[in-house]
Chain A
């Protein structure tokens, strides 16, 4: 069966497109728009950059579903990465300077995230990065620091996502990252990845996030970024993660005599030699929250963390109810993602039902064309981080999450590609090359319902030079297409549900030739497909210049989606 994007996935993509492509000011003089999540997973993740990385995570998976259509993922990834170079992305590192003076004013809920022995003592709260304290000194560059791994590691992950969906090396050229006192620091993607690798090689424990807390969660995301970078750039940086897994199994993982999980830390503080952890069975949460990052990199270890966690919590036991003891949906969502990924159908169904019943999935927007998870919260937008993670559960079959990391599809960059889709008016369900059949399958739809029926066009590029092309649309021969340049054709259609079957038959010794239908499109004709239809236009013949294509700006007309929010 040819993969395609589900309705919900397309609806979520529509919302992320809108968030990413609506300009907002992430400098120190502005503020991210209200739809960027600054609430979830407090206190660690109440900064808008977490919404960037969570929103980016689904893009490689979607790209593997529609490998022949990537331009929207590319634009979204580019916008997310761009925001991650700004003041607001690093606001904690740039403004939580020195010791935390109000350490004893922590909300009670956040004291839970302190090591047991250090609660009530002068110990900085989780998320207070303490940039500037000894022995580290002030480190003005949020990327080039001993700590701040959560910034750097997730940033590299996003850069790698961009590279994977776009195929281009834009971020391999020097760019500037905003630092302390508005200073700018030049980096390239390669340098970011290399720094993570070299630092990790020197420190097998792993680098820390806040000064001084080592989070397996953040390290595993950093590892995932290295794994993806190796896949797209041909480097060999990811080996450090394998060494860390062995280190973690030996020193961070505590098992009982039968090998069952007893303890896994949320973080380890090497200066205090203390961990933040929870008593049984809640240690499962620390294992679970990391598991989906581990699975693509170290499947056996990731599977162990997942299986032990859901066993402890009773989620994998059909005889027990699904209890979500903490209101934060993240843990159950991660369990659902891992269950889907590993093909644990029993647990997937149980957790999926819980999510449907409790996490409030809803269509929204002035045309009900956006989708998100609302969690029963009376907020103007779906919670970004939580929704993004849940959408990973919706996209693809078992193995879909791991595939971009373990078996990256780089072939797509040299295969026929759909471009110039008038998104978000026209949406894409399916864009899949079948090299054995020599067919590109393209499924389009009215992503914005009110635009249904309007004329539109899109291109297919990177067609083999010697191909003879014939197209069927919705099962019937299709004539409304033309050659625009070598290897590129343009298809005229309307904004509506259509299924195109673009067949490319090799015809040795001649260049790309259109069928009679193309000639008919230029000058009128029946559009019937026949053996005689091949060869109407030869290379160097009547080729026209590409029609300039300018997509419409994203329509933002409903109150809840306008910049600035409600």
Chain B
């Protein structure tokens, strides 16, 4: 009995559900929206015919079946069943990497977007490993150094919440930084 159609359907349902939940989250969750600062298209597809692309625009998410004409990045599985198992695994990253090693998974386009997409998925379906230390390291450096031996090297002044507006040269130079421009919408360097 050929189970491929059933497996394809499973992946289609999964991707549709993911898109629907993301769409809702982008409307209802401020925290989710805060991570959608760019207009992008991410695609998940398989070599045996399943495809869905997720459209991020104006901090809202929608999705459509089929491939996009020019996705910003794409995650491609050899088969729908492989895709379904990877995306529902406890650690999808591990499954995907195994697929890269045995060349049944391909990453296309701006591949650093894929971890971000995976984190969005994990935000909605909080499965998977928690990235935390098992215990809090002691002696946290959470207050200014108190000992005179160290304090004598440090110059401290009252808190400030913005760059001195009169230091115009600094403002001009800060505006040119790659960091600043990336936050204003210019795509960051690929690496």
Which residues does A use to contact B, with CB under 8 Å? Answer: 28-29, 31, 38-43, 46-47, 87-88, 91-92, 94-99, 102-112, 115-117, 119-121, 125, 127-128, 131-141, 143-146, 179-182, 185, 191, 195, 198-199, 202-208, 212, 214, 247, 251-252, 254, 263, 265, 268, 270-271, 273-282, 313-314, 320-321, 323, 325-330, 375, 386
Contact = CB atoms under 8 A, between A and B. Distances in A.
Nearest to A143: B153
B170 A247 contact: no
Contacts of B3: none
Interface residues of B, number: 81
Contacts of A281: 93-94, 97
For the complex of A and B, 10 pairs with smallest distance between CB atoms: A98-B161, A120-B31, A132-B160, A270-B140, A328-B191, A251-B137, A28-B169, A104-B34, A109-B112, A108-B116
B13 interface: no
Contacts of B136: 273
Interface string B159-191: 111111001011101101111001111011111
A143 B152 CA distance: 12
Contacts of A117: 132
A91 B174 contact: yes
A247 B141 contact: no
B155 A140 contact: yes
B132 A275 contact: yes
A133 B179 contact: no
17 contacts: A42-B191, A95-B170, A104-B37, A107-B38, A109-B110, A120-B29, A135-B144, A137-B158, A141-B154, A144-B153, A195-B153, A198-B150, A252-B137, A270-B141, A273-B140, A323-B97, A375-B191
B156 A321 contact: no
A144 B189 contact: no
Contacts of A270: 137, 140-142
Given A208-B141, A265-B133, A275-B132, A202 B150 contact: yes
Given A280-B94, A325-B97, A146 B34 contact: no
B1 interface: no
A268 B134 CA distance: 13
A105 B141 CA distance: 28
Contacts of B174: 91, 95-96
B191 A329 contact: yes
Interface of B: 29-38, 40, 91, 93-94, 97, 100-101, 103, 107, 110-113, 115-117, 119, 122-123, 128-145, 147, 149-150, 153-164, 167, 169-171, 173-174, 176-179, 182-185, 187-191
A282 B188 contact: no
B67 to A, nearest CB: 20
Nearest to B186: A107
A138 B184 contact: no
A204 B177 contact: no
A180 B170 CA distance: 9
A375 B189 CA distance: 13
A107 B160 contact: no
Contacts of B135: 251
A106 to B, nearest CB: 6
Nearest to A121: B31
A279 B142 contact: no
Contacts of B162: 97-98
Nearest to A322: B101
B116 A112 contact: yes
A109 B149 CA distance: 41
Nearest to A128: B179
A138 B164 CA distance: 11
B131 A115 contact: yes
B20 to A, nearest CB: 19
Contact of B94 (A88, A145, A254, A279): A279
A58 B174 CA distance: 30
Given A202-B150, A275-B131, A105 B137 contact: no
A91 B175 CA distance: 11
Given A112-B115, A139-B157, A271-B142, A107 B183 contact: yes
B159 A132 contact: yes
Contact of B101 (A99, A127, A140, A314): A314
Nearest to A265: B133
A254 B134 contact: yes
A252 B148 CA distance: 29
Contacts of B157: 137-140
Nearest to B136: A273
A138 B139 CA distance: 23
Contact of B178 (A46, A252, A320, A321): A46
Contacts of B164: 97, 180-181
B183 A102 contact: yes
Contact of A105 (B37, B101, B132, B177): B37
B93 A108 contact: no
Given A47-B177, A138-B158, A281-B97, A119 B35 contact: yes
A47 B116 CA distance: 24
Given A43-B182, A138-B159, A204 B139 contact: yes
- Most B C-beta atoms less than 10 A away, residue of A42, A128, A135, A204: A42
A91 B158 contact: no
A120 B35 contact: yes
B170 A28 contact: yes
A97 B188 contact: no
B37 A106 contact: yes
A50 to B, nearest CB: 12
A279 B131 contact: yes
A26 to B, nearest CB: 10
- Most A C-beta atoms less than 10 A away, residue of B34, B93, B128, B162: B34
Given A95-B163, A185-B155, A280-B93, A199 B131 contact: no
